[in-house]
Structure 1
Amino acid sequence: MRRLLLLALVVVGLAPGTFLRTLTDARGAAAVVTITPRPERAGVSGELALTGVWELRSAQAHFGGFSTLAHGAGQALVAGSDRSFLLDIDLAGGIPRAVPGSFRWVGISTRGRKEFVDLESLARDPASGTLWAGFEAQNLIVRYAPDGRRTIAAPPAMAEWGRNSGAETMERLADGRFLVIAEGVVAGSDWFHEALLFPGDPVAGAAPARSTFKAPPGYDPVDAAQLPDGRVLILLRAVRYRLPAEFDTMIAIADPREMRPGKVWEARIVERLNGGIFADNFEGITFVPSAQDPAKGSIWLVVDDNFSVFQRSLLVRFDSPR
């Protein structure tokens, strides 16, 4: 009974808005965002060089819950939250800076006053600026055109994915294909996750090739980022059920050219984050190429603070692998 009670408390603590924050601000209220460097470096290990840690803060009540990252225009990031807000972050000065006025709501409202807000993954076309967002609970992919037009699709290949274990991972590959991986495991497994490779825009309706991504037991894929050489970094997360909860994160590298329909697709672990402030809920990863040499660049991660007083919104930067 004691273990069950602890588990229940942890689950409640991970629910957005629990312990926590009363949402007193209007959703459209302006957010003044500060990004402050943190000195911590202990708690990471592996092949990547840690080059920066920052904490994001704002008094705006809806700020936080960042669950995904995408490479923005030029030297920039787009962070997406599981309450369906986007935030633009400028990297041109060498350190991250929140773009004033960019914190905005992009969720889905229906005529029946129902809202879809569980945005968990982002992908972006660098040529057009078009964004795609994965809404996990509804198994939807939404395309946002630069002119503001929005198109909503429910890919049949994702229809049976669980409400809290769907498209946490989505990446638009350089050749225009889309990689989407389910957070939830295949029934009866602890490590297999369904992976879809769409031949183009998933909103356009083309059927994807299906394969199976193999993760370490207990770890779930939560985001992905393609490197200039074509390989993909996959962010993997495990939860340690304590109070407060602790998280164990791995970064794996895999080659989408090795994906085969109906076959198992494997990855190699290159980094681990599991100590100190890095034992937190990392949910987003992206790659930003260097302005001087696009074959090189930086890997960025973001933490989902679950709107909890026990957690924080962090940005972490690594050098790209050699």
Structure 2
Amino acid sequence: MIIVTGYRGGIFDEEIVGLLNKCKSLDEAWAERLSNVEDIRELWFRSTWYNPEDFAFILINDRVRGYAWAWKNGGFGRISLCVDFGMPSSILYNVVEALLSWARLRLEKLRVPSKVRIVAGYEHGYMHKLLREVVGLYPEDYPASIMVLEKLPKPRVPEGYSLREGGLSDVEAIVRVYNEAFSRYDWFIPWRLEDAIKWYTMRKPYIIVVEHHSEGIVGYIDAEIRRGIDGSVNAYIATLAVKPKHQGKGLGKALISTIASKLWNKDVERIFLDSVGGLEKFYGKLGFRVWRRHVSLLVPLSELPSRNITLVDASSLGVKNNIFKYNKLT
């Protein structure tokens, strides 16, 4: 069992995306779309935000059996895991402990504060239960909720504003709205124009923008029709954002009602979104109800596993006769 760090994409991409899709299928598979190799190459490894030191994966007999992210953001250390749940329990627990041990080393190097947030998937879901078994019982918080639309809100555009369909020519303004709207949250990472253009080009979502008569674009919403891993067809509202100065005027409701009306006619089973924690009441007033909550474990860094692990830098991996050669990091 070795842990590979410093990976920038390459020979293990197919195995990593296969594992990603396995993890997506664990809970609420209807809400997840299958990812492909291009997705992780372009939207992960070639994104401006990607730091190869924040990502690691575990090899057992030259196969990827799990991966982890560990990064510092908003004053917190954060960890996210994906493991091959088809392994025997004894091996599965060892893989989780090894990845958490790597994450601890990474976060100690980043000098994060004492508390770490471990992303645990859906409340009472597979990953939540697994992490409780491996890590133990710790305080939890609920950073987001998946919400499903039950009733279409009535459209009303406030005076002084207008709505229209958006496109790639609006992405620069959309990025400004996103960064202004979400910068107050501790999970916020600035969205860069290069990454946004790539995302909109690859995903091709529906976009509705709201313009102020003198300030231009001050809000937007985007959504995509996606086939879930379970085969169902649903509409996912990816982002709703309004500049802080223009919040509280009914623009969010206008954007939701406009795009939901468009999506409702696309023969989808559900229209859903992920609400930032604390905004569930806001979306409830727009016709959504909470389906399930996302959960994180709040664990002291010093109480994460600390096993002896073998670290290998991806640059030292070579392939010859299908045997991987490596040099241990010291």
With normalisation by structure 1, the TM-score equals: 0.22
Q: Which has the higher helix share?
A: 2
Q: Which has the higher strand share?
A: 1
Quick one: higher RCO (CA 8 Å, sep 6+), 1 or 2? 2
With normalisation by structure 2, the TM-score equals: 0.22
